[in-house]
Structure 1
Amino acid sequence: MTELELEVTGYANGGSGIARSNGRVVFVEGGLPGERVRAAVTDDSRASYAKATVVDVLDASPHRIDPLCPAAAAGAGCCDLSFVDPAHARELGAEALADVLRRIGGFGADAPTPPVVDPLGDEPSGWRVRTRLAVGPGGVVGLRGRRSSDLVTVPCAGPVAGLLDGLDGIGGAPGTELVLAADSEGTRHIAELSAPADRRGRRGKDRRGRAQSSRSAHTAPRSVRTVQGHTHAVQTIGPRTWTVPVTGFWQAHRQAPAAYTSTVVDLVAGVGLTGDVHMWDLYGGVGVFSACMLDATDGPTVTGVDLVDTDPGALAAAERTLADDQVEIHRGAVADIVSSLRAPDLVISDPPRSGAGAAVVDAIVAARPAVVVHVGCDAAAFARDLGRFAAQGYTVRDWRGFDAFPMTNHVEGIAVLTR
């Protein structure tokens, strides 16, 4: 494997350092700006750039620390920035977010100052209330390796205290996975997901056949068995309580739901939207944003909500919690449903990591809401969506950044736009 001696001069969205070798960009995993490193090339297939990973730090950044996460230090694919001082990691995250907002979103000097990245707690560890572990031979459980399917049994520093306790021998057959969730009542729940559908017989197939088998394995339903606790976790935000499937979506950071809901209420009130309004809650899941706006005492009075999502378990949780509210629930893809909904005054959009995309952004714009709140957990997709809103007449009035996944390169963004 080719090794290079490199000067790391920048930081890229995604967590790699940026260096150059003979004029060619090299993205350096494990490298920090200001460092001189020796790095092994891991991908040399593209003419414009290469990828490498640090094998030796020759001159270290003052922001490099001993890894905070033992699992990441042992090669697990969890906390990729646990070797960076947490305050500096947030600064790097803010720089990366500002870069993609400018480069991908097209935002310049006329936009609000790019957001800082605020912490959600005092400590970078012990924040995660949900995690998923792989099961290996003999029922051993752990995280998968960063660049391999090897099992790392050293515990991650991210989960809240007690979430990973007493797991020896709890795993089932190799290939299954355990989903662990800690709820607001302090109960730990563990569910076992069956192995992805039939990987047997793939070895004798051609490449197309193997690819088709792989796609089937990832889309086929997986059976769920309760190992500990219950099928549903009880989660509370303010006056509202949800019972959420253990295998369903809930924010990973224990403080994220409260932080995001208060931020959304703040942003909507801050742009002066008042009076009775109708709202769309897109990719709404269990209806956390619906609830926070219905309960808000500042800003507009939400008199009705259309909540859209594809997850039946999440929507069932929303129906239970919001049964007494003026909320109409729609199951299906956002792009397929929004054109049939009543025109909104306010839209809250919280898409998956891939972003809302052109079709959904265009459909929101066509509905002409006065205010849009857009949430993103991938900086590049967040910037791309915001840029498309801006290109069609919406103005970003404010935006916030959160270190919602400490010790990692991921940053959460929330922006409010007006027409």
Structure 2
Amino acid sequence: MTNWVGRTFEAEVGPVAHGGHCVSRVEGRVVFVRHALPGELVLVEVTEDKGGSFCRADAVRVLRAAPERVEPPCPLAAPGRCGGCDWQHATPEFQRELKARVVEEQLRRLAGIERAVTVEALPGGPLRWRTRVRLVAGPDGRAGLRAHRSHRVVPLDDCPISVPLDPVLSRRWRPGAEVEFTSDGDGQAHVRELGVVRGKRRARQVSGGLAVQHAAGRDWKLDAHGFWQVHPAAAEEFAAVAGEWAAAPSGGLAWDLYAGVGLFASVLAGQVGQDGEVVAVESGRRAVADGEAALADLPQVRWRSGRVEHVVRDLPGRPDVVVLDPPRSGAGRAVVESIVEREPARVVYVACDPAALARDLATFGESGYRLARLRAFDAFPMTHHVECVALVQPDEA
């Protein structure tokens, strides 16, 4: 088969697909097209072709535009430039509609679940929401983001979806170094440089280091570069939904898996009270230390440090409710099976990837657990990412 890289042709754009692109079909092959919208006629240029049934392309000219198309607020959100955003060329309302279609399709294809989905906006609008960014220094020392599916660095003067990045963009860095930026709940900037020095990976804290966040009625002090929600409204919103659906009984037992610093554990602790117990499981040692300090006033929270798939097998008792917030790859079969073996009345699953969520829901379904409720949130405007919170219960519930 002839390699199509560099080839240009007209394409009718079909449905949205998971990953920030749409699907077109040309000469019997699937073409995943970025910078396009469903229903458009575009001129595409193939950017990647590894053979087989599909290739990847950019829409380099729009010949017939969809009514939802707008001018991107960032000039770098274009073919061959920054790969950080996927949908700047669509209205915010249509971005959420596209994400809803993706969640519905993943549930249907991977879990056999037919469910109408609405993606809800979080407060603050589609710009200046991103509080955590990892940049990389190019050959000239200027910080930027990588082009899509490339190691090439696109230098930035600004990033419209992020809070101001002046502490990073105003200076030069060691070429090739990664620079982590966090703006905490008090608006304080924290900057860390990561790089290789004499063959060893080194981290250098440039400013800050201990972040302050506010959510679930508490003030949190934690490693500025550890896990916390990127959108400033997300932690509060997800804690509220998880708490409502968990409804852990007074005196009961609850598990918080992939607990981070204990955001959900703090909510569960208030529900079970001093006579109950919350087991928080987290693999990151710094997160556990920060969580223990943050929740020192809640003796009913007991921490277990280790990988969830290992720790959960040996946890004692039968939890009334389990809350889990796994990484993008999902919880996986071993964790799901360990949960359902204990027969909790409710499972609240916080997911940052709809495909991983759907795969895990399919595993829950094999053991008689069903998706009872689902809410989806646009916690990452302008990108293809979407956050979901799912309530899973036994079929007889």
Structures share a fold, TM > 0.5? Answer: yes
User: Out of 93, 98, 109, which is 1:92 matched to?
Assistant: 98
Contact residue 279 and residue 304 of structure 2 kept, 8 A: yes
Rounded Cα–Cα distance in structure 1 between residues aligned with 2:362 and 2:173:
46
User: Out of 306, 309, 323, which is 1:335 matched to?
Assistant: 309
Distance 1:18 1:417, change over 3 A: same
1:230-285 alpha-carbon deviations (Å, 9 max, x no partner): 2211111142122111221111111110110011112234xxx6443211111111
The letter of the residue matching 2:203 is V
Contact residue 249 and residue 320 of structure 2 kept, 8 A: no
Distance 1:361 1:20, change over 3 A: same
Between stretches 165-174 and 349-358, larger displacement belongs to 165-174
Distance 1:196 1:416, change over 3 A: farther
Counterpart residue number, 1:224:
203
Between stretches 9-18 and 280-289, larger displacement belongs to 9-18
User: Within the alignment, does 1:260 sit opposite 2:238 as a pair?
Assistant: yes
Q: Secondary structure at the match of 1:139?
A: coil
Q: Secondary structure at the match of 1:385?
A: helix
The alpha-carbon deviation at position 174 of structure 1 amounts to 1.5
User: Out of 61, 65, 87, which is 1:60 matched to?
Assistant: 65
Counterpart residue number, 1:314:
287
User: Within the alignment, does 1:247 sit opposite 2:225 as a pair?
Assistant: yes
Counterpart residue number, 2:125:
123
The letter of the residue matching 1:241 is D
Unaligned stretches of 5+ in structure 2? 1-5
User: Out of 90, 110, 116, which is 1:104 matched to?
Assistant: 110
The letter of the residue matching 2:284 is D
Q: TM-score, normalised by structure 1?
A: 0.87
Counterpart residue number, 2:3:
none
Between stretches 15-24 and 65-74, larger displacement belongs to 65-74
Contact residue 279 and residue 346 of structure 1 kept, 8 A: yes
Q: Over aligned residues, Cα RMSD in angstroms?
A: 1.9
Contact residue 76 and residue 145 of structure 1 kept, 8 A: yes
Distance 1:17 1:138, change over 3 A: closer
Q: Secondary structure at the match of 1:276?
A: coil
Contact residue 184 and residue 224 of structure 2 kept, 8 A: no
User: Out of 357, 364, 367, which is 1:382 matched to?
Assistant: 357
Q: Secondary structure at the match of 2:254?
A: strand
The alpha-carbon deviation at position 196 of structure 1 amounts to 8.3
1:1-150 pair list within 5 angstroms: 1-73=6-78, 75-108=81-114, 113-150=115-152
How many percent of aligned residue pairs carry the same amino acid? 41
Contact residue 309 and residue 315 of structure 1 kept, 8 A: yes
User: Within the alignment, does 1:290 sit opposite 2:265 as a pair?
Assistant: yes
The alpha-carbon deviation at position 114 of structure 1 amounts to 2.9
Contact residue 40 and residue 52 of structure 1 kept, 8 A: yes
Contact residue 179 and residue 246 of structure 1 kept, 8 A: no
The alpha-carbon deviation at position 166 of structure 1 amounts to 4.6
1:355-404 alpha-carbon deviations (Å, 9 max, x no partner): 11111111111121111011111111111111111121112110110111
Unaligned stretches of 5+ in structure 1? 199-219
Q: TM-score, normalised by structure 2?
A: 0.91
Rounded Cα–Cα distance in structure 2 between residues aligned with 1:14 and 1:133:
21
Q: Secondary structure at the match of 1:158?
A: coil
Rounded Cα–Cα distance in structure 1 between residues aligned with 2:342 and 2:380:
33
